[in-house]
Structures are given as C-alpha cells and as structure tokens.
C-alpha cells in the first residue's frame, strides 16, 4: 500500500525513514502525529537533513505554517517534554543533565549565565553521542558551520531552501512565547534553530543559533535557557 507519508516525502524530495527510532524516553508533544523522519539532501552541501523541525506535524507549506513550527528546546536539554509549547514551568537552574521532569526551567534575567544548568556543560549536544541528543537514530544537532555552509541569507531563502524553515518563533527564558515572535503579527517574525556550537569570546555562557527573518539570516550567541527550534542533520 502507498501511504500518505511516502507520498509526502516524495512530493518534497525526501526519503521517509519509517523505522527511525527516537531516543529512549522521548516525549512526543503530539503522540498521535509523531514527527516523521524524512531525509532531504542539500543541493548546496550534499548533507542530509530532516525536512522538518523536531515536533512538527509536517514539512512547512509556507513560512507561516503553524503545523510546521514544532517544539522549542532549551539548549542542551533532552526531549523530556519541556520542549512542548504548552509545557509547564518551574524555577531553575538545576545541576542535573536530565532534570527528571518535563517543565521548562525558568531562569531570571539577572542570572549570571542565563543557562538552565548550573554549572554549565558544553557537551550535552555534541555529536551523535551527545548526552542529551534529541534527534532520531543517526541524526544530531548541526554545528554553526553547517548552517553557514548552506548559504541561506534571508528568511525567504530559509523557506525556499531544501530545509523549508518556517518562522517558528521562540520561548524566552521565563517560559513565555512572546506574541511578537510569531508569524502573522505586526512585528517582523523570526525563526531560530539551535546549533551544537557553544559561543566563545565574551559570550562563553551562550550557545550559537541560526536566526532568520524576512530580510536577513545570521548566526548569533543566545542564552541557553531560551527555547528554540531544532532541525537535525544526519551524521
């Protein structure tokens, strides 16, 4: 039987990995529509990526397709449920790699590191064997350089690329999704995707994310307690 998932994968040039496994204990925010693992190959770099954000119901049909927004992860945390847009909140930080609950950890703006974990750890999302790698089997969080190599210069190009990146907004470190962060508001909508790269120089407490709006795209350091999208790349 030719299923809808296979049809969707072919329509968008992807390859459905029906047997792909998520890490043990993964919380799927919409269990009835678990994020399909569909590979697409970049014509720019030859790298294989997932064609949608973690937590997305489908590949984006437009930059403002809410069903393609997906989840919002704090940098370095595993898929324990905190990434769900309607997850609860509780005060942080924690000293544990896995807090043992699915709440988004709130970090006050006067925090010395703006990180959900204290002391900080730089190895939680490093490579396919990262302690909290949330990606399906064979995938990992991309590096900052891997986003740079895709040569995406605006949010328009982000959507028109093989990655089909939507304006998925963000969650601030207090656990709030600002209205101005989402597409369809009077403000300029944004998308952010975490990388595995930790920041250097004067921003060593932060991690690098790929950010984009209608006029530009760039890599920048951000507080690790923020909630951003995750797009996985194949190892």
Other residues' Cβ atoms within 10 Å of the Cβ of residue 64 = 16
- In contact, 74 and 82? CB cutoff 8 Å: yes
Mean pLDDT, 10 residues at a time, the chain of 235 residues: 38 49 94 93 98 97 95 98 97 97 97 97 96 97 98 97 96 88 65 96 94 94 98 96
Closest to 79 (Cα-Cα) out of 22, 143, 21, 18: 22
- In contact, 182 and 192? CB cutoff 8 Å: no
- Domain of residue 145: give its range: 1-235
pTM of this structure: 0.90
* Tokens linked to 55: 């937590």
Domains identified in the chain, total number: 1
* Tokens linked to 231: 């797009």
- In contact, 228 and 75? CB cutoff 8 Å: yes
Can you tell me the distance from the alpha carbon of 224 to that of 192, in angstroms, rounded to the nearest whole number? 13
Task: Give the 3-state secondary structure of residue 101.
Answer: coil
């Amino acid at each position: 039987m030719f299923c809808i998932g296979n049809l969707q994968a072919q329509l968008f040039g992807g390859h459905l990995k029906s047997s792909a496994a998520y890490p043990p204990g993964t919380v799927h925010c919409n269990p009835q529509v678990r994020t399909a693992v569909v590979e697409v190959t970049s014509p720019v770099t030859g790298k294989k990526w997932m064609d949608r954000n973690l937590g997305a119901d489908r590949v984006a049909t437009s930059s403002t397709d809410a069903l393609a927004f997906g989840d919002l992860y704090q940098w370095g945390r595993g898929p324990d449920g905190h990434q769900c847009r309607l997850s609860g909140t509780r005060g942080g930080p924690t000293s544990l790699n896995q807090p043992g609950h699915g709440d988004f950890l709130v970090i006050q703006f006067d925090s010395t590191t703006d990180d959900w974990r204290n002391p900080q750890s730089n190895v939680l999302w490093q490579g396919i064997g990262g302690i909290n790698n949330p990606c399906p089997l064979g995938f990992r969080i991309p590096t900052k350089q891997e986003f740079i190599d895709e040569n995406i210069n605006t949010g328009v190009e982000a959507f028109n690329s093989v990655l089909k990146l939507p304006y998925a907004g963000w969650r601030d470190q207090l656990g709030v999704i600002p209205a101005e962060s989402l597409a369809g508001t009077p403000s300029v909508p944004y998308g952010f995707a975490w990388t595995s790269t930790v920041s250097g120089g004067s921003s060593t407490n932060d991690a690098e994310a790929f950010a984009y709006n209608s006029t530009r795209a760039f890599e920048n350091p951000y507080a690790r307690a923020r909630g951003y999208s995750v797009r996985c790349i194949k190892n």
